[in-house]
Amino acid sequence: MLNTAIALESNEISNSITKNWTTQAIECYKLNGNCTECSIRKAHYSFDCHMPRVVEILKLINGEPKTED
């Protein structure tokens, strides 16, 4: 069931970014998905960010990230 949920959730997301916690994924995690505070959003890129979805997948697969608060 979990694998099916992950597959459905990540249908439009590259598998390569859902394998390991990246710096950007950890930033999104720390911001609790608050896109208004995100460094990507502040750079005014012209794409829809899927990082909050990536973070949820990473938490399911790898657990919570190790962060330095």
**Residue 46 domain flag:** yes
More confident residue, 29 or 8: 29
**Residue 50 domain flag:** yes
**Residue 10 domain flag:** yes
**Residue 68 domain flag:** no
For residue 12, the enclosing domain spans 2-62
The pLDDT of residue 55 is: 95
**Residue 25 domain flag:** yes
More confident residue, 23 or 7: 23
Encoded tokens for 29: 């995690």
> pLDDT tens across 18-47, in order?
999 999 999 999 999 988 888 876 666 667
The pLDDT of residue 53 is: 93
Q: What is the pTM of this model?
A: 0.72
What is the total count of domains within the chain? 1
Encoded tokens for 42: 């502040």
**Residue 18 domain flag:** yes
